Amino acid sequence: MNADQIFKDLSAKLGSILPEAEIRKKAELAVQINALKKERNAVILGHNYMEPALFHSIPDFTGDSLELSRLAAQTDKDVIVFCGVKFMAETAKILNPEKTVLLPALNAGCSLAESITAEDVRLLKEKFPDVPVVTYVNTYADVKAESDVCCTSGNAAKVVESLKSDTIIFLPDEYLARNVAQQTGKHIIFPSKTKGWPEAPTDTVLDYQLIGWHGRCEVHELFTVRDIEEARRKYPGVVVLAHPECSLEVTSAADYAGSTSGMIKFVQEHEAPSYLLLTEGSMADNIAAAHPEKNIIRIQGHRCPHMQQITLEDTLLALRKNQYVIEVEESVRQRAEKAVQRMIEIV
Ligand code: 13P
Ligand code: SF4
């Protein structure tokens, strides 16, 4: 597509939220990115949280963490540009050691990935020997390497159930763990380094079954039941969708809880007077842009500062300057790959 075509397409979707001059500038950046993408035989993967102009112009594929991991595993391109955060780009590298994986902004982190270290996981494994470890993909490669299997928000309960184990270590998201515990009918405990580690279970009848961690998503922990109550008062018939990184109180008060793509699909497939999306704000903007006929309500200000680091400008620089190259040490990568592959194989 040339700049005029991209401009027209973006204007149709974003004309009501962005000034014309800005859309024109974004369209020109997109043309340059698409040309370089072709020249470098690259694929651009865009997470659902990318800002609207980027989301609707340059990615070859968009999706949630699980879909993008699957796509990363299948690509035959030489270069993968990951428009998402670092743990996602690392997952792509884990699955594609021979390819160049680029993350347009090095400081695109994640509060969940920062909440746990590989040493923490090793200590937990010492305390709970032979208990399988499920790790959310929102972690760095060395943490994945200590795990038996990874999961995403889209398959967490399924992964836990696939292990057929009474007791499971589930890391590091406290709220996702609470949601999964409820879905799978398991009790939950939270060991604490500072308050003393609990003793490993010694008898066969366990009074706890999911061993969690205190990681939190700095965006999703902000949503409250009050937000839902207020929306229900203000918008009669509103359908509330929450990401499972929200607290159990919030997901229980919502009408639907699921991954980012799960929420998009839900909105596409249902007819409701309005939808309240309890997740990162750009995704609500993206759905609103794709479905102008639907009334999408956002809670302003709840944006992921890490996802917002990724811009069209930096994506262009990433391809031009080959930055920032994601590397994973080979012995770590091989162990992490087993956990990621095992997840991908669980349908
Ligand atoms: P999804 O896997 O649902 O896309 O979530 C990723 C994420 O970081 C949510 O905050
Ligand atoms: Fe991490 Fe939360 Fe941002 Fe997702 S929204 S990348 S979990 S900080």
pLDDT at residue 205, as a whole number = 43
The mean pLDDT value for 283-306 works out to 92
Q: Quote the CA–CA distance of 6 and 229 in Å, as a whole number.
A: 40
Q: Report if residue 42 sits inside a domain.
A: yes
Identify the pLDDT of residue 298. Answer: 86
Q: Which atom of ligand 1 is nearest to the CA of 304?
A: 10
- Could you tell me if 22 and 101 lie in one domain? yes
Q: Are 228 and 208 part of one and the same domain?
A: no
H or E element at residue 95 = helix 86-95
Ligand 2 touching residue 115 (CB < 6 A): no
Q: Do 91 and 126 fall within a single domain?
A: no
Same structural domain, 240 and 290: yes
Q: What is the pLDDT of residue 300?
A: 74
In a shared domain, residues 178 and 117: yes
Same domain, 116 and 195: yes
Q: Give 108 Cα–ligand 2 centroid separation in angstroms.
A: 10
Q: Is 154 in the same domain as 244?
A: no
218 pLDDT higher than 60: yes
Residue 53 beta carbon below 6 angstroms from any ligand 2 atom: no
Measure the CA–CA gap between 3 and 24, rounded to whole angstroms.
Answer: 8
> What pLDDT score does 203 carry?
45
Last residue of a domain, one of 216, 236, 258: 216
- Is residue 230 situated within a structural domain? yes
Tell me the C-alpha distance between 73 and 342, whole Å.
12
Choice between 197 and 182, residue whose per-residue pLDDT is larger: 182
Indicate if 225 and 179 belong to the same structural domain: no
Percent share of the chain, pLDDT over 70: 95
Does residue 338 belong to any structural domain of this protein?
Answer: no
In a domain, 91, yes or no: yes
CB 103 within 8 A of CB 324: yes
| Residue 326 lies inside a defined structural domain of this protein | no
334 falls within a domain = no
Q: Once rounded to an integer, what is the mean pLDDT over residues 155-172?
A: 95
Asked whether residue 59 falls in the same domain as residue 121, the answer is no
- Ligand 1 atom closest to Cα of 65? 2
Q: Give the domain CATH number at 149.
A: 3.40.50.10800
Binned at pLDDT 50, 70 and 90, residue 45 comes out as: very high
Contacts of residue 262, Cβ cutoff 8 Å, sequence gap at least 6: 64, 153, 154, 256
Quote the pLDDT of residue 299: 83
* pLDDT bracket for residue 190 (50, 70, 90): confident
| Residue 176 shares a structural domain with residue 144 | yes
Q: Beta strands 256-257 and 239-242: pairing type? A: parallel
pLDDT band at 48 (very low <50, low <70, confident <90, very high): very high
pLDDT tens track for 69-113 = 899 989 999 999 999 999 999 999 999 999 999 999 999 999 999
N- to C-terminal Cα distance for the chain?
35
Q: How confident is the model at residue 148 (pLDDT cuts 50, 70, 90)?
A: very high
Mean pLDDT across the chain: 94
What tokens were used for 342?
């095992």
In one-letter notation, the amino acid at residue 316 is L
The parent domain of residue 152 ranges over 112-216
My answer on whether 200 and 241 are in the same domain is no
Report yes or no on 329 lying in a domain: no
Distance between CA atoms of 15 and 8, rounded to whole angstroms? 9
Mean pLDDT of 105-125: 96
pTM for this structure?
A: 0.94
Counting atoms of ligand 2 from 1, which one is nearest the CA of 280? 5
User: Which sign does the torsion angle of CA 242, 50, 96, 107 carry?
Assistant: negative
CA of 21 to the centre of ligand 1 (A): 32
Q: How far apart are CA 257 and CA 241, in angstroms?
A: 6
331: helix, strand or coil: helix
pLDDT at 1: 86
Same domain, 120 and 207: yes
Ligand 1 atom 3: residue of nearest CA:
259
- pLDDT of 341 > 50? The answer is yes
Residues ≥6 apart with Cβ < 8 Å to 101: 79, 80, 82, 89, 90, 92, 93, 325, 326
226 within a domain of the structure (yes/no): yes
Q: Give me the pLDDT at residue 163, please.
A: 95
**CA of 224 relative to ligand 2 center, distance in Å:** 17
Mutation pick for ligand 2 pocket among 103, 116, 151, 280 (CB with most ligand atoms within 8 Å)? 280
Kindly write down the DSSP assignment for every residue of 135-175, as one continuous string.
Answer: EESSS-HHHHHT-SEEE-TTTHHHHHHHT--S-EEEESBHH
CA distance 153 to 182: 14
Q: Domain total for the chain?
A: 3
DSSP 249-316: HHHHHSSEE--HHHHHHHHHH---S-EEEES-HHHHHHHHHH-TTS-EE--TT---TTGGG--HHHHH
